Amino acid sequence: MPTALIADDEPLLAAALQSALARLWPQLAVIAVAHDGAIALAEINRLRPDFAFLDIRMPGLDGMAVARSVAGCRVVFVTAYDEYALQAFDAAAMDYLLKPIDDPRLLRCISRLQQLASTVAMPAPAPAEAQPEYLNWITAGLGNSKRLIAASEVLYFKACDKYTELVLATETQLIRTPLKELAARLNPREFAQIHRGLLVRLSAVQSIEQDMLGRNFVLLKDREDKLPLSRSYAAQFKSM
């Protein structure tokens, strides 16, 4: 069964679209409804829906930014503004629906998505040179206090008990994703493990320092933190 997410900062419009989809495409399961871009992106990454119906103008993160930050999810933009159409298709959108949406127009969109769903359901050989998709955005914070942080803003990640600490230039945030999982999802050209419990962004490194006991430490450009560099990870920094 195909799945979808709806993102619109106007709850009534999101509910109206969900109702119309239920009438016109009852086989589609709407598994989440979000009312801002950051939550939409987090839910897409968590639930992996087949399709996302995204409003463009949303607080926090607009629909364009959400579309460019996800992979494996086909996007339909649903908006009251027609000036974003060119950008939408540059972002590989499947369709561009203008509000208010009438049934005939939505049916044409559904027909296109159904054709795609039947195509992607058939197994296809993987490309010989498939490129890995790395993590670019991280939803940080606990409880109701959440925010979206670009991976490029993080100076280093530190394992701490049941959480992982994200250390930025002027603050820290917590996430539940284990450090080992983060290490596998971050671009190895941008991040490197320097200790069993530490991952550092390479462009944030200022220098490597060795103390009188022969222990190595990583010094950062934007913070005074002195991070231990384990011998098993030191080889990658020999040229610094």
Same domain, yes or no: 23 and 101: yes
Instruction: Report the pLDDT value the prediction gives residue 25, as an integer from 0 to 100.
Output: 95
Instruction: Report the pLDDT value the prediction gives residue 157, as an integer from 0 to 100.
Output: 96
Q: Which domain holds residue 12?
A: 3-120
Instruction: Report the pLDDT value the prediction gives residue 61, as an integer from 0 to 100.
Output: 83
Instruction: Report the pLDDT value the prediction gives residue 195, as an integer from 0 to 100.
Output: 93
Instruction: Report the pLDDT value the prediction gives residue 41, as an integer from 0 to 100.
Output: 92
Instruction: Report the pLDDT value the prediction gives residue 28, as an integer from 0 to 100.
Output: 94
Same domain, yes or no: 110 and 179: no
Same domain, yes or no: 112 and 144: no
Instruction: Report the pLDDT value the prediction gives residue 84, as an integer from 0 to 100.
Output: 60
Over its length of 240 residues, how does the chain's per-residue pLDDT go in tens digits?
899 999 999 999 999 999 999 999 999 999 999 999 889 999 999 999 999 999 988 887 888 888 888 878 899 998 887 666 556 555 667 888 888 889 999 999 999 888 876 655 444 445 545 556 777 778 777 666 667 788 889 999 999 888 999 999 999 988 888 898 888 888 888 999 999 999 999 999 998 888 898 889 999 998 999 999 998 887 776 655
Same domain, yes or no: 109 and 18: yes
* Cα gap 106→97, rounded to integer Å: 8
Does any domain span residue 131?
no
Same domain, yes or no: 22 and 111: yes
Does any domain span residue 160?
yes
Instruction: Report the pLDDT value the prediction gives residue 17, as an integer from 0 to 100.
Output: 96
CATH number at residue 49: 3.40.50.2300
